[in-house]
Structure 1
């Protein structure tokens, strides 16, 4: 297993869910964490919790990945001791709405495209050149089963995650000849704030998504991310699709009640 002791790990969307779970797994392994998200107070709470349980250095960045100028500034103004990023976890992403395409909300579309595709591209574009220069690094993109299988009313969200899958494949091809690794971790149902966000805070509707099902937890996904980055340096895990046992595809789910 490759040690990530003292490696610098940048996690976007780190304030909750899979991002927060990744922060804890990597802190436990002795990595140094750059945690980025829009909600600074949530980041601070996470940093306090991590610092209480693990001995690690943490640098917080309040960042909206949709803002290219802000991403450029965040990366270019990192303190020298934090600037050599070893692992980039592109986790920031969201789903908005569950409407038929011809009835979709334009603002929902913009938010998903700007966060899930363009935000991921901005981070990758500003971080990976440093990895190439230093001759080391690993990019992990958090995709989704939605990037493999389209489901009814998932149209644009599925489109953005299909883009993440294609971008991951393209980046791997473009980095051929370098030691930099690229992985895409694509989960099915994970119980996070995902459905709350999708349904604009309608908790009752969000809770029904997981009713009668034992979904994946953020920790389950973080474990897989950690597995990818700790393989021997000549091994690249291109893509992992993981789902709960109660889920067989994007639309086939076993509900116990």
Structure 2
């Protein structure tokens, strides 16, 4: 397994602002509180034959073919939760580390014998430079930590030629989400140019960027985009993740799957 280590204050990504640290503490407390009910509600859809699948509608990886071959590779899953993805990739011969900010989430993953579990912040990864061939996140830490901090950290721990693959909310979701009604609306409810953070609970913040901002961030970190997948849900698809009206999701992308390569 890639070797974890403590940082020194002079290392990149090791110094976080007080505001970032407080948001991180809030998100950790929230996920520690949510964890058991989240796993009861969604665990069945996220595991088993759907472990290697993307997003709200669990699009199978064997159909989308987002990931590089994983056998013999060092893989890091950011925001692994119960580590369904991690365990499945380990079963295909990858050396996998599952990282999460929530100890309660990691307790749901503690039986994954072939996965090394790490309790840490994706905004300050406790790994040496060039430790991994693949970093992935399926609505995990790439959504629940600040991209302006996570993307440079991912680029740092990826080897040259390594892949970043992740699924996250689309800007359309962020702009059309009605937080009071807890549903998506046809009308825009916030501006495109002020996207970054959203308070999704009294003590929880998630993140989304516009497409151009993602591209500028990737480029600044020597990451080249190879794919962006946005598709409507399959006919008759269902999800356990709240109200996602078919009329809305058939017209606009609710999430985006990105693949980028470390130069």
TM-score by length of 2: 0.46
- Structure 1 or 2: more strand by fraction: 2
TM-score by length of 1: 0.46
- Structure 1 or 2: more helix by fraction: 1
